[in-house]
Structures are given as C-alpha cells and as structure tokens.
Amino acid sequence: MRSLRGASSIELYHEKISVNAAIHTINGFSAHADQTELLEWMSAFEDLKKVYLIHGEEDKQCIFQTAIKEHLDKEAHIIEEEEYIEL
C-alpha cells in the first residue's frame, strides 16, 4: 500500500507497480456526513424503498436505523458480516 511518505512503487501479488498518485492529509475534518445531513440527502430520493447500513459501529447503526424509520418512514437493514443481499 502507498504510505503518506510517498512511495514511488508498491508490490502487489509479487508484482512491482508504479504509483502515480498524490496523497493529501486534512486533519481535523470528518469525511462523513452527520446523521441530519444523511437523512436530508436520503429524503430527496422519491423511490427509495430500503436502506442497507454497511459501515460503522453497531450501536451507531442501530441509532441511525431508528432515525431512518422515524424521519423517513423507511426500513433500514443492518448488514451482517458475510451476508449476501440481492439488489
């Protein structure tokens, strides 16, 4: 994997691969939207039927699952490890 030190190549499956990318770090900012922003964004989808929660700590997923039901009247399913879903 490429490090913040700026490696010019990586080895992946015994193959040396050139890295042509730049990495920038912004400390102190979250890359994630907060719950209110996510609910607002999801409310714009007229044909939203079901939400699948795949990322985050379980207790936070449960809180967000409840918020989706209360604010959007939509079902949200918390994906279990190695669970398969059909879309």
Task: Profile the chain (87 residues) by mean pLDDT over runs of 10 residues.
Answer: 65 86 64 81 89 89 94 93 85
- Asked, for residue 1, whether it belongs to a domain, the answer is no
- Asked, for residue 21, whether it belongs to a domain, the answer is yes
CA distance 66 to 73: 10
- What integer pLDDT is reported at residue 76 of this predicted model? 94
Give me the amino acid identity at 6: G
- What integer pLDDT is reported at residue 9 of this predicted model? 83
Q: Give the count of domains, the chain.
A: 1
Instruction: Look at residue 38 and give its three-state secondary structure.
Output: helix
- Asked, for residue 84, whether it belongs to a domain, the answer is no
- What integer pLDDT is reported at residue 81 of this predicted model? 87
Ramachandran angles phi, psi of 67, nearest 5°: -65, -40
- What integer pLDDT is reported at residue 30 of this predicted model? 58
The model carries a pTM of 0.61
